[in-house]
Structure 1
Amino acid sequence: MSPISRQRQAVAAAIPIGSDHSVSTYSITRNIQRFLSHIRYENLVAGLSGGVISTMVLHPLDLVKIRFAVSDGLSMRPQYDGVLHCLRSIWQVEGIRGLYQGVTPNIWGAGASWGLYFLFYNAIKAYTQEGRSTELTAVEHLMSAAEAGILTLCLTNPVWVTKTRLVLQYNADPDRKQYRGMFDALVKIYQHEGIPGLYRGFLPGLVGTSHAALQFMTYEALKRDYNKYRKMPSDAMLSPWEYVAMAAVSKIFAVATTYPYQVVRARLQDQHNTYTGIADVISRTWSNEGAVGFYKGMVPNLIRVIPACCITFLVYENISRMLLGQCK
């Protein structure tokens, strides 16, 4: 009898006959162990690096996007005529520090989100493909990305709430600002609003996992089909410009499909307005601004996210291959 057969018999003997609970517990434990065996921390480091670098370069455009997203025309807040006017106004009133308000939680959030996302996504893909000779389908890529997004959001939502609050502090006088930094904001939100305050916008954030899922599905499909065209393995390394082009196309598709959820999420997290929930945000936005209200800030968002996505994916692909020893 082989060692593997003896091991299986020992495991079976250890589980009482008719004990559904024991069988279920053993099955869950085995599945968790299988999943954990596919964890590669190189993916975490590579994703984190890409997220941090792109955020440091492009944070001012993220700030502009959020300020446009919450601009409902009714609140007493600065009004801007466009992206350049917004950037110039913030620079004139608050200087370079104004353009980088909320950069600390943004770096933490983007770094952690991209790192965890690539970590979970690659582990889930490998777990799904375990024991199979065929490649994953588009739907399986979609589901893997969605599951990775949900896991990541559960861990990072408080950071995104903090970032939104910080970038929506408009007054240049530091003594009149509600929050003095990331950790001060985290503490104050928890003290005054509890755990629900740290998880404002979580439900539209869950909807937003469809954004990343669509993006990753498209990105994987583009890489696979392009390598088939080149008669190369589907995971063959591409040139920097090829990665950039595929990242840009996949991001444009995802943004165009899912942008309204970002407006809803930002407005729920806005400390200058009070909404009773998602339905209230949607109803008031539609009543006061029409369909265009759900796409406010989309132009500065595209200007920011396309290069950010390209930088992130390019850094990730190269660092992950270097760390995993896959460079040919």
Structure 2
Amino acid sequence: MDSLRQQSLIPSFLYSSSSSAKTFSLSNLHSEQPSLSPPQSSTVTMGSKSSGGFVIPAPSEPGKKIEMYSPAFYAACTAGGILSCGLTHMTVTPLDLVKCNMQIDPAKYKSTSSGFGVLLREQGVRGFFRGWVPTLLGYSAQGACKFGFYEFFKKYYSDLAGPEFAAKYKTLIYLAGSASAEVIADIALCPFEAVKVRVQTQPGFARGLSDGLPKFVKAEGALGLYKGLVPLWGRQIPYTMMKFASFETIVEMIYKYSIPKPKDQCSKSLQLGVSFAGGYVAGVFCAIVSHPADNLVSFLNNSKGATVGDAVKKLGLWGLFTRGLPLRIVMIGTLTGAQWGIYDAFKVFVGLPTTGGPAPAAAPAVAAAELTKV
């Protein structure tokens, strides 16, 4: 009964996938194929000829199964977060560079197209990738904490709420879990973000992270690397809350209203396509919600001694909400869609289910709640 109680703490909708086959029971196999003798090795062979049969890995076979919510599970989610955030942010460095310069110097960088033209004339093609190293390292560290801790806090808050309330208030759990994870993730990101913005918006300041970090610390001290932490939290926490909660909700709606069969009957390629589509739409919402704070982060990291009041005075309230927004919508939408696609592809690669899925029916949720009372 204790095992039933533990298993019921996490509602089934948090991970609903065909990958449930990884817990395939050998006793079921024997009941369906009574002629088979008990397996003597780590695999069971189906069919009359062992040389040509279909091989099912036993649960004990290394590398073929990761237990949900085990240390290996969180390690895999952390690795997936590194890949999804680090690689995607590095890829869109040119877009990010133009966006930052539009925010800092709107008189010179009047639009997206003219911004690319100015950079090409003044710095050449290589100029489009200034700051790629702090971008790669910073967002890899952020992605590790963001996705790894999100999975941890999502389960932790579900355990606290219990199965009935976890199913009823699942969106609140997504919001709380993502916000908690992002607080930690931004502490890892902030120093890299400070150097990145300075390198990208002040030509001649430094070539990259290796010489930019010492120059920054010499000019403003080690604590200066965290000068933009509060605005970064202001940008990233609403962004991440929107990113995860809207993604989970959108994916649930896609499976519920747009796909005529259950998720566990969908191919992996279709499930990954749903992850990308849900991520892209979520990214558009993220960009709109977090854009004013993004303008503040760029302004504060570019100017020594600058304040939020200085930013509002120079950009204006309208500019704070709209300066660089169209470009950021394209960038963040593509970025977020790619991140969820890469993250879930990595999870599938290591044998884990994709993120999100249809919510359970009311009856199973109530039944699970009753089990915990036994």
1:158-169 alignment, distance < 5 Å: 158-169=191-202
Match of 1:51 among 81, 85, 88: 85
- The one-letter code matched in structure 2 to 1:225 is M
Inter-CA distance 204–312: structure 2 relative to 1 (3 Å threshold): same
Match of residue 258, structure 1, among 290, 305, 314: 290
Q: Deviation per CA, 1:39-61, whole angstroms, max 9, x where unpaired?
A: 61111111111223323332100
CA contact (8 A) 1:44 1:119 kept: yes
TM-score between both structures, scaled by the size of structure 1 = 0.77
Cα gap change, 1:89 to 1:71, in 2 (>3 Å): closer
Displacement, 1:82? Answer: 2.1
Q: Secondary structure at the match of 2:205?
A: coil
1:279 to partner: Cα distance: 3.2
Classify the secondary structure of the residue corresponding to 2:124: helix
RMSD: 2.6
- Give the SS at the match of 1:130: helix
Structure 2 Cα separation of the partners of residues 283 and 91 of structure 1:
30
The total of aligned residue pairs comes to 278
Deviation track 1:203-228 (CA, whole Å, cap 9, x = no partner) reads 11111211111121110111223334
Residue 18 of structure 1 corresponds to none
Other-structure match for 1:310 = 337
Q: Is 2:176 the partner of 1:143?
A: yes
1:39–1:123 Cα contact (<8 Å) kept:
no
| 2:186 aligned partner | 153
1:94-140 deviations in whole A, cap 9, x for unaligned? 12220001011011122221222101101111122237434352111
Secondary structure class of the residue paired with 2:221: helix
Pairwise mapping of residues 11-22 of structure 1 onto structure 2 (< 5 A)?
Answer: none
Q: 2:142–2:189: 8 Å Cα contact kept in structure 1?
A: yes
Separation of aligned partners in 1, 2:211 and 2:77: 31
Counterparts of 2:285 and 2:349, CA distance in 1: 29
Partner in structure 1 of residue 124 of structure 2: 95
Q: What residue is the counterpart of 1:11 in the other structure? A: none
Equivalent of 1:232 in 233, 240, 262: 262
Distance of aligned partners of 1:127 and 1:90 in 2 relative to their CA distance in 1, 3 Å threshold: same
Letter in 1 for 2:201: L
Cα offsets for 1:52-88 (capped at 9, x unmatched): 3323332100101111111254xxxxx1342122212
The answer to whether the 8 Å contact 1:68/1:296 transfers is: yes
Give the counterpart of 1:201 among 228, 250, 253. Answer: 228
- Counterpart in the other structure of 1:21: none
SS of aligned partner of 2:262: coil
Aligned equivalents of 1:49, 1:37: Cα separation in 2: 19
Paired with 2:239 and 2:193, the residues of 1 have a C-alpha distance of 16
Matches within 5 A, 1:241-320: 241-271=273-303, 274-275=305-306, 277-286=307-316, 290-320=317-347
Cα deviation for residue 303 of structure 1 reads 2.2
1:311 deviates by: 1.2
CA contact (8 A) 1:72 1:293 kept: no
Provide the residue aligned with 2:74 in structure 1.
40
Equivalent of 1:223, from 221, 237, 251?
251
Larger Cα-atom Rg: 2
Following superposition, the deviation at residue 36 of structure 1 comes to 8.9
Question: 1:37: how far off?
Answer: 5.5
Structure 1: distance between partners of 2:112 and 2:311? 24
**After the TM superposition, which segments of 4 or more aligned residues of structure 1 sit over 6 Å from their partners?**
none
Q: Is the 8 A contact 1:51 1:114 kept in 2?
A: yes
By how many angstroms is 1:280 displaced?
3.3
SS at match of 1:92: helix
Indicate yes or no: 2:241 matched with 1:213. Answer: yes
Shift in CA distance, 187/146, structure 1 to aligned 2, threshold 3 Å: same
Answer whether contact 2:81 2:145 (CA < 8 A) is retained.
yes
Q: Distance in 1 between matches of 2:157 and 2:198?
A: 38
- Does structure 1 conserve the Cα–Cα contact (< 8 Å) formed by 2:292 and 2:321? yes
- Equivalent-residue separation in structure 1 for 2:283 and 2:198 (angstroms): 26
Q: Identity, % of aligned pairs?
A: 20
Q: Does the CA contact (< 8 Å) of 1:240 and 1:314 recur in 2?
A: yes
Letter of the structure 1 residue corresponding to residue 172 of structure 2: V
Q: Kindly state the Cα deviation for residue 321 of structure 1 after the two structures are TM-superposed.
A: 2.5
Give, in whole Å, the separation in 2 of the partners of 1:133 and 1:295. 42
Normalising by the residue count of structure 2, what TM-score does the alignment of the two structures yield? 0.68
Q: In the TM superposition, what is the alpha-carbon distance from 1:294 to its structure 2 partner?
A: 3.5
Q: Quick one: structure 1 residues 46 and 149, their matched pair in 2 at CA, closer, same or farther if it must change by over 3 Å?
A: same
